[in-house]
Amino acid sequence: MLIGIDASRAARAERTGTEAYSFHLTRAMLEAVPHWRFRLYSDRALPRELVAPNAEPRVMPFPRLWTHARLALEMLTRPPDVLFVPAHVVPLVHPRTVVTIHDLGYLYFPQAHPGSARLYLDGATRWSAQVAAHVIADSQATKRDLSRRYGVPLGKVTVAYPGCDESLRPVHEPFAIERVKRLYGITGEYLLHIGTIQPRKNLVRLIQAFSNLQSQISNLSLVLAGSKGWLSDEIFAEAKRLGLGNHVLFPGRVIEEDKAALLSGATAFVFPSLYEGFGLPVVEAMQCGTPVICSNTSSLPEVAGDATLLIDPLDVDALTEAMARLVVNAALRQALVERGYIQAQRFSWQACAARVLPVLESVARK
C-alpha cells in the first residue's frame, strides 16, 4: 500500500495554521507506522523532519498552478493507492483521495474576506468535499457545517482533532520571559493574542474592549502578535483612533522558539475569534499555563471545555468584563491554568494520526 501526501504546505518555511497542521500530522503519521510506504509530494525541498526511511520524497518544482497542473499530472501518470491532502485543494486529476477541511468561516463571516478569496475558498472547498472519497474535519462544528452547508453525508466525515506542538511548555525562568519581552518591545504586564492580523480574528472589538479596560486598569498592554493579513488596515486604525498607540502593540510574527516564553509571560491569552475550525492557539496557551478567554462560537467550546472564560465575541462589554476579571483575580487565573493543563492533554498529533491513518487505509483498500 502506497499513501501519497500533498506535503507542499508542510514544506513552507513559515508555518501558520494549515501549514503547521500539514507538517506535524505528516511527521506523526510517518513515525506511527514505520512499516507503511509513503510518498511526499512538494514543490520545494522537504524539511529534514519529514525525511524518513518509509517516505519517498517527490519534489516537483513548478512556476504556477502546482496543484492542478503538476500534482495532477503526477496523479495521472504515477498515482498512489490513496492521496491525502491535509491543507489544500484536491487536484483536478486524482486517485481515491482523503482531504482535510479545516473550516467554513468564509460562509458565516464573508465580510472578513476579500471577495476573490471568498469565492475561491467556497469553490475549492465545495469541490474538495464533493470529489474526495472521505473528509477529515478538525472539529464536530466543522463536520456539522459540511453537512448543513454543502450537503456532505455525515458518514463521509471523520473528526480528528489537531494536536499541539509538544515542545510548548510553561516557561518559569524570569530571565527567559524578560528576554522575549525585550525582543518584542513589551514592558510590564500584558494581555496576548497570537494570530494573523485580519478581520476574522475580531481584533477591532478586542481593541475596543481593551480601551474600556484602560479606564479601570491602566498599567497593562495588549499585544497583538502575528503577520499582517488581508483587510487589516481597519485594525491598526482603530488602535490609533482610540489613542492606544503606546498600549496596543503589533510586534509582528512570533517565531516558534519565542512562543512558549511569550505565552507564559502573559497575564491572559485573549482569543475572541468570530469563527474557528479548531482554534489551535487556545490549546497552545493552555499548554503553556496561560489562562484563556475565548469565543463561545464555532469549534471553540469543544476545544476550551471548562478551562477558559467563554464570551460572546460580538459583545464588547462582555469581553471587557472577562479581561477585568482575569487581571484582578489571581485565584481565577490559577484555576483556569490547572484546568487548562488537563484540557490540553486531549489534543496530540499522535492521537490525530491514529484517527486519520485508519481512514487512509480503508480508502486505499476499497
Domains of the chain: 2-163+348-364 (3.40.50.2000), 174-344 (3.40.50.2000)
The DSSP symbol for 331 reads H
Distance CA 229, CA 213 (A): 26
- Looking at this protein, which amino acid is placed at residue 175? F
CA 290 vs. chain centroid, Å, equals 18
Q: What is this structure's pTM?
A: 0.89
- Give helix 203-214 / helix 233-241 axis angle, nearest 10°: 10
- Which residues, including other chains, have CB under 8 Å from residue 299's CB and lie 6 or more apart? 103, 138, 139, 140, 141, 142, 276, 277, 278, 279
Q: Give, for all 366 residues of the chain, the pLDDT tens digit.
A: 999 999 999 999 877 788 989 999 999 999 999 999 999 999 999 999 999 999 999 999 999 999 999 999 999 999 999 999 999 799 999 999 999 999 998 898 887 778 888 899 999 999 999 999 999 999 999 999 999 999 999 999 999 999 988 889 999 999 999 999 999 999 999 999 999 999 999 999 999 999 999 988 878 999 999 999 888 999 999 999 999 988 999 999 999 899 999 999 999 999 999 999 899 999 999 999 999 999 999 999 999 999 999 999 999 999 999 999 999 999 999 999 999 999 999 999 999 999 999 999 999 998
